Amino acid sequence: MLQLGSWRSLVPGLAGFYSEPFSKLATGFSPTSSASTFSIQVLAEIVSAILISIILLFSAHSLETFSLLNSFTSQQNWAVQTQKIQNYVYINLEQIFPFSRELIANNKYDQRLPIASVYKQVQRELDASRGNIADLTIDFNWADWINLGHAHIILDAYNSLGANRGEQEYKKLWEALRSNDFDRNVHHPILSQLLHSDTWLDGFMDAPERIDIITDEGFYEVSVRGTDKRLGAQGLWDTYYGQERSDWSASSLTDLDLKRSAKQLDFVNRKYHTAFNWSEPIPERMDIPNEDMHWNLDEEIKKLEKVPNKTNAQAKHLERLKLCRDSSNDAMYFFPVNFLENDRYLKGDHTNFPFFQSIIDPSRHRSPIHHMMKNYARFMRQAGYDYWVFSGNAISWYFNGNNMPWDEDIDVRMSAQEMNRMSMTHNATLVVENPEDGDGLYYFMISPWFGKSTRVGNHIDSRFLDLRTGLYIDVTCLYEATEPVKEIIKHDKLFDYWKIPEKSRADYLKDHKALNDKNGNWFWEEHFTHHFRTLFEGTMVYMPYDYSDLLKYSYGDKVLTKLEMDSWRFIPEIQLWVSEKYCDLKKYKKVFKEGKAFTKEGKLTFAGACWNAPLLDEWNRVHTSTELHKKEMKGLIKGDYDHFEYSQQDLKVYWKDEFTELFDYYETSGDGNV
């Protein structure tokens, strides 16, 4: 049967960067054969297919229906662009595909099952190998880990239709069945984006290279083996119980207690290893070696070429660097969902393709961003790599230690060499959140173009993506400038802001190194050498000691004193940003003058929250973190750098994920009425 592997053979240029052998990578397939060259037999097949498709138009009713297929052509080097191959008619799954009932039954999705399955496999391997899980490899298919809805069922069924055709004839049939041959249904852009994303994940997205599991007392890393066909419910239960053809039913879902499974995993691990203590503080200071900013792609390739007996990771990394160097078509790698369809309201503007599941109202960004920051920090901590929070998020940190309520992502920085090392060891890593904190899944991806400057839009070097929402942390590198001195001294702002006279610029560069990124930002190396520990979103991170000067240089002298941003105003008394859309600020100021903002115990009142329930809820959640930040900033502003008592450990999650929040509410409300 032509399974999902057939999709790769149909469009080989869409093979992913991370796991396919490089000898198999090719440019996008664009068939040129026309229907007129087909044999009579193939023509008959096409006519039959068209007749069946016409029948589909009259059979679509009763069940929820989606379009059969949305797919894409590709540019060279795996970049998904906007062009679609076709958009098939609506269908009724159970009427058209006789085996669809079985498909649907085995495609029931429970987000806990794949996670619990991995927990159990790791637990058994720990006992079997006396604490060593280096040889454990997990079978992986995206359709088991992300809810692809009808997309997986449709594509699985569609592949089965071509079971008796040879590959070449199948390609011709693919090209012959053009979308303009049929009546087309106009999709809402959001539905089209969902179908694009789900189709890509199901047919073309390569599996991660590894899975990293975070628990209360551990961090477990296991290798991954991608499979063309999903395990399905039966396969996942088999791996959960450790036996083939395991007996399970819907009632088996009561066994899926991830918190209990994680504790069992940690218990077994303690037999062989010391428990990991996440409450231990990270070092108070972090210094970036000057040589880590130096980057030369050709030099790095030569270094790796000289290494004898290369490991698999080194060999794969060398191939990636060569491909980065030699490619002449550096297609955009990270892009938002709205690039795929006419998204006039940019509802997918900060949602990375293909991890798009739904439109998320900005008011609901706080929880996923909060969880994402904590999991990125723990992932980086265990991996042993240095980074620091910067850009607009450093501004929001300055005010209250949390992300601004309207911000839709987080920006962090790394040195070029740190990214290079991480590309070899942790590219394409799936991170599973500690179930005590939430049920998040995250994916760390490094752009194949991180090693050189490319087209506009490729300035992001890597991303840490929330697979549930498509939100992300942008990671960009700083590189030692390689331009000639005569070109560097043309960047007036770099010299003028730091009061370096024009006649002294060339001499200044003899003793000071200029840095830049791929987005045209220029800095001096000494400003990113020394960093201090702080809390951001309740999580231990690092911030440059020169944050104040750097932010003023980047955003203007008033960036840290201006309390208004668009329709938002920062209220120092409550350490929060308040929107003028729901708060009459003139009326609100009187609350503080009249002493009605706080209770005698120091709790914010409803009036103190500008009579806005969500703002009161936010204050109750973040108050501990903002108070710690307020104390820390007093020391920093005075120049007292002995402020680390306020960032000695991560705070408990104070923006719970919505799934957990729902059941917490249910369990704590008197009659369980939700």
Q: Of 232, 264, 233, which is closest to residue 248 (Cα–Cα)?
A: 233
Q: What is the pLDDT of residues 104-147, one digit of tens each?
A: 555 567 889 999 999 999 999 999 999 999 999 999 999 899 88
* Confidence at 373, pLDDT banded by 50, 70, 90: very high
Residue 456: its pLDDT value, please? 63
Per-range mean pLDDT, top range of 18-22, 82-86, 301-305: 301-305
Residue 4: its pLDDT value, please? 32
**Residues 538 and 653: beta-carbon distance below 8 Å:** yes
Q: What is the CA radius of gyration of the chain?
A: 27
Q: What is the mean pLDDT of residues 203-207?
A: 84
The C-alpha angle 460, 465, 469, rounded to 5 degrees, equals 125
Residue 229 has pLDDT above 70, yes or no: yes
Residue 251: its pLDDT value, please? 72
Measured distance CA(544)–CA(398) in Å, rounded? 12
Residue 9: its pLDDT value, please? 33
Residue 253: its pLDDT value, please? 76
Residues 6+ apart with CB under 8 A from 449: 324, 327, 330, 333, 458
Q: What is the mean pLDDT of residues 55-64?
A: 34
Q: How far is CA 587 from CA 567, 597, 609, in A?
A: 16, 12, 12
Residue 668: its pLDDT value, please? 45
Residue 534 has pLDDT above 70, yes or no: yes
**Residues 199 and 71: beta-carbon distance below 8 Å:** yes
The DSSP symbol for 139 reads E
Residue reference for tokens 């210094």: 287
Beta strands in 57-175 (DSSP E): 70-74, 80-87, 137-140
pTM of the model: 0.80
Measured distance CA(249)–CA(234) in Å, rounded? 10
Q: What is the pLDDT of residues 594-614, one digit of tens each?
A: 999 999 999 999 999 999 999
Measured distance CA(4)–CA(222) in Å, rounded? 24
Residue reference for tokens 């620091």: 388
Q: Which two tokens stand for residue 596?
A: 């009605």
The DSSP symbol for 671 reads T
